[in-house]
């Protein structure tokens, strides 16, 4: 199964987010749970992450289409 470029970028950013959020004292699980509640900290960062991924995927799609037409 061959992955598209956007799939590879999505996997990369998900892994990057998991590495950045992870802490040795299980704060990753706490951060993910706290992200479910709008008054806690992770939700704005998650929205920014999604916006960043969307912008990067549109940029890469444009670059790919320009060089592979």
Q: Where are the alpha helices (DSSP H) in 1-69?
A: 5-21, 27-34, 42-67
Please name the residues in contact with 6: beta carbons below 8 A apart, sequence gap of 6 or more.
57, 60, 61
16 lies in some domain = no
59 lies in some domain = yes
Q: Are the C-beta atoms of residues 56 and 1 closer than 8 Å to each other?
A: no
Q: How confident is the model at residue 49 (pLDDT cuts 50, 70, 90)?
A: confident
Give me the number of domains the chain comprises: 1
24 lies in some domain = no
33 lies in some domain = no
Give 25-47 pLDDT, tens digit per residue: 555 555 555 555 555 555 566 66
63 lies in some domain = yes
56 lies in some domain = yes
The reported pTM is: 0.36
64: its two tokens: 């790919």
Q: How confident is the model at residue 21 (pLDDT cuts 50, 70, 90)?
A: low
């Amino acid at each position: 199964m061959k992955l598209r470029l956007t799939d590879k970028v999505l996997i990369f950013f998900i892994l990057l987010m998991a590495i950045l959020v992870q802490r040795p004292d299980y704060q990753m699980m706490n951060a993910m749970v706290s992200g479910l509640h709008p008054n806690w900290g992770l939700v704005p960062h998650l929205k920014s992450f999604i916006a960043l991924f969307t912008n990067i995927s549109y940029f890469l799609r444009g670059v790919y289409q320009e060089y592979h037409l």
